[in-house]
Chain A
């Protein structure tokens, strides 16, 4: 008994943290979402969310998040695969991870310089005779920079699951007659699906609420849920609507978490076969 009560003291900081920084903000957000511009209790914000403006915004937010995730995955998977094959894989991995330690804002500003009208990229275009191009404030630059920033977060879980995979399984698949492609689709990919799911979670969910990159790189031409929340709070000062969008954003996140949820089966047995 004595032991049990003693042990529960250790949980106090954890519960305190959870209450202050997870539960309380959530309750506050839901609370604010139930008041209109004039501080009256109403469901008007929720009704407004289902108007075409906000639905379009949600759709476009999902579309961009999807594009970013798809490109990140397309680049990260082969890279992670190649990494597991190299001799000094931990070193290469470190080199890929290092940029993610640098402040996001700093990297974003660096791209403003690179992509700018007077930037090095346009200098190159000019010398090649293509002429100056407007690169900043386009969909391309938005997706490019987002993909660049998210790549380490996709590579890491995929690399881990690939690295954990028993390489004899690939021999076994080949031995049983599968081509390189079937080996990938029937063995390698299914066994690393958990890594892919973790990567998608780490990229898709933050992509939904990007607002700094949309502002700096896309020049607010791309509006995501994140940008909308920021505008509602800081520009329109409609805290109710901002909170409502946040509530929906949280709901979308939960849904994505459930959809990309990990079944323990694959990872567990992958461990045990070793």
Chain B
């Protein structure tokens, strides 16, 4: 644990009844001043983590530390965190000013100080001049900003955001992604953001925790997670991927689709069964004789920036290809890719083992 750690989960489990726990023996650390994202499908336990940090529930077992102090039983109103709720949860009987001032009034601050800080918070979220509006008069995006202002005005150490952008339309959502990221950097506070949208997670985060079934599958920077997914779930959840079964013949040699290929992975047992991931954008269309693999084009969709081709190899594995080049449907084409594009995933590998293996590749891979 470093001095920079602000929140620490130690073997935290949360279950509502005897059935499968929502959160299963989860441990992690949150560092000060970073933007974290808890990413996963609904029901994976990401909101449960948020609620545990906020203090709306207590863990069934395990401990939660905040600044080194155990906070398992500290009630929500005594915690140094504020939440931006999914449905904003703005008080409908109070106007914008009073909503934002709510926390400050409870702290019994002086009137002038409250006014100053509320107006400052409104300025922060680009809502100057809206202080006397009623909540019903605000649009979805504006409510969102009020909710953020209501959280930051209290100057908490950590701000929790529970899928705050999910109710907004696409354009506004993209806009708010930029704004949130910028806000976090300006404030220098720890943001913990919950989402099921992988693009949102990749775009905004310093660090992503990918979760599934109450367990953190993988944590790391967006690039780490995108480039080196630990297992089928993460590879599938983050971005689009071609995942096929393969066999690791020897170090740097992997077999899939009935052929041997050069790859960048080593340190696995010979003839170990693995999953192979190749991202669609790493596959390049070429002629059959120049390609490393021959596939038949099944369908082709125009996606704007690229064509999305669905192709099949002889064994019936589907290969999704993103290409700026066009191909003819029904035609056989060759696919070319770099050895680094092949990502080998061991079956049932834990995150620790995975990290160790990646480190063992050492300098040679990093140099590339």
Contact = CB atoms under 8 A, between A and B. Distances in A.
Interface stretch (A167-175, A195-203, A231-239): A167-175
B233 interface: no
B101 to A, nearest CB: 10
Interface in A54-87: none
Nearest to B82: A175
B89 A169 contact: yes
A228 interface: no
A103 interface: no
Interface of B: 54-56, 75-78, 81-83, 85-93, 102-103, 106-107, 134-136, 150, 154
Contacts of A166: 87, 89
Contacts of A171: 54, 56, 76, 83, 85, 89
Contacts of B135: 269, 273
Contacts of B102: 173, 176, 178, 186
A273 B92 contact: yes
Contact of B90 (A175, A190, A265, A273): A273
Contacts of B78: 177
Interface of A: 166, 168-169, 171-179, 182, 186-187, 190-191, 265-266, 268-270, 272-274
B100 to A, nearest CB: 10
Contacts of B56: 171, 174-175
A88 to B, nearest CB: 18
Contact of A172 (B91, B134, B136, B154): B91
Given A177-B106, A268-B136, A273 B77 contact: no
Given A175-B82, A175-B83, A177-B154, A269 B92 contact: yes
Contacts of B93: 190-191, 265-266, 269
B92 A191 contact: yes
Contacts of A175: 54-56, 76-77, 81-83
A178 B55 CA distance: 13
Contacts of B82: 175-176
A268 B85 CA distance: 21
B157 to A, nearest CB: 14
6 contacts: A169-B89, A174-B56, A176-B106, A177-B154, A178-B77, A182-B106
Contacts of A266: 92-93
Q: Chain A CB within 10 Å — which of B75, B91, B135 has the most?
A: B91
Contacts of A179: 77
Q: Chain A CB within 10 Å — which of B89, B90, B106 has the most?
A: B89
Contact of B107 (A177, A187, A273): A177
Contacts of B136: 268-269, 272
A161 B22 CA distance: 32
B246 to A, nearest CB: 47
